[in-house]
Amino acid sequence: MKKFNFAVIIGRFQPFHKGHLCLVEHASRIAEHIIIIVGSHNAPRSIRNPFNTQEREKFIRDSLKARGIGEVTIIPLSDSAYNFTDWVMRVQQKISVIVSEGTITIVGHFKDDTSFYLNYFPQWHLDKVTMQADGISATQIRNAVFENRIIDVAEYLPEAVSEKIGKWTTESAFAKLQEEYQYIKSYRKKWESAPYPPLFVTADAVVIGLGHVLLVKRKGNPGKGCFALPGGFVNQSESIERACLRELKEETKINIGYKELQGSIKLTHVFDQPFRDPRGRVVSHAFMFELNVKELPEITAGDDAGEAFWLPLYKIEQHESDFFNDHAQIVKYFINHAL
């Protein structure tokens, strides 16, 4: 008889590699049933999250099938970058739907500070596993794939994953991300001689009117074609609020004057999740504008925006994977705090 009824493994699995496989094999030895929570569900494709949930589930199931591990439940879970308590609560809810009674253990590996979340489930046993496959890094694997060096990391991948990634590199989704990867690599190179890692400050506008939010489509990398909030980098000679107003007018040509826009600011908040932007450490000061209008103002795409448009708020969830970085989460943050 095994020690636990259920073992829970939490990760992004971008991609699922042999280090993850070691965790699952360990879980199969100590628990009767395995629950795998796949994070960053519905996150936009990016060089940090290149594979969608369906692709990652396929990676996992095919890899485990090859090892004779079949009794596994896979649960997708969206991120809560700016509400960690909400994320913990949703993990608990997902598990409670499956487990009405029985013993539970969280199986995980503390690779660095990003593994702190494993300590937030004191009601369950925590099984800390020493990785049995040294030198594995999902970041290094992704970099090798984008640099057409998958052969260099094939030994770290289950055969099924290596085969599927090889096919994926022939698709348009890969080509788009590879172009972005090269852009980011070149962007970071400009700052590699700086005495300290640079920290960038941006200002973003969340303009709400008549149940809609004002968005743009990004014209260039990173995030070419993604939905985004009007915004950009703060100039040396301006305040952050002024930068937000300037970027809003430049990118959308919104038919409202500066003074009226400034008077419509209802909330402001800093969004600083460390990995929110592929260019580096980018901290955004976002401002929520609540427009008191009888019809939506006229807008026209300008500056580096490919398109400007009003999106009904109820469509944010269904389009979450189309947003740039954490912009969908920023919109939802303000909606939830604007009571």
Task: Let me know the angle formed at the C-alpha of 178 by 222 and 197, rounded to the nearest 5 degrees.
Answer: 55
Cα–Cα dist 179/166, whole Å? 17
Per residue in 103-130, pLDDT tens? Answer: 999 999 887 777 888 999 999 999 988 7
Share in percent of the chain as helix, strand, coil (round to 5): 40, 25, 40
Output the pLDDT for position 339: 59
Output the pLDDT for position 338: 77
> Residues 238-245: what's their mean pLDDT?
98
Tokens found for residue 67? 């090892």
Tokens found for residue 272? 């600083």
* 119 conformational bin, left if phi > 0, alpha if psi -120 to 50, beta if neither: alpha
Select from 3, 6, 1 the least CA-distant residue to 102. 6
Select from 323, 298, 290, 102 the least CA-distant residue to 217. 323
Q: How confident is the model at residue 26 (pLDDT cuts 50, 70, 90)?
A: very high
Name the residues annotated as catalytic.
Answer: 307
Per residue in 186-197, pLDDT tens? Answer: 999 999 899 999
Q: 172-189 vs 138-146: helix axis angle to the nearest 10?
A: 100
CATH architecture classification, 4-172: 3-Layer(aba) Sandwich (3.40)
Name the residue ranges covered by the structural domains of the chain. Answer: 4-172, 199-337
Q: Looking at the predicted structure, is the pLDDT value of residue 240 above 90?
A: yes
Output the pLDDT for position 16: 97
Q: What are phi and psi of 226, to 5 degrees?
A: -80, 155
Tokens found for residue 92? 């608990």
Per residue in 62-92, pLDDT tens? Answer: 999 999 997 899 999 999 989 999 999 999 9
Looking at domain 199-337, its CATH class is alpha beta
- Least confident piece of the model among 3-12, 187-196, 299-308: 299-308
Q: How confident is the model at residue 226 (pLDDT cuts 50, 70, 90)?
A: very high
pTM for the complete prediction?
0.91
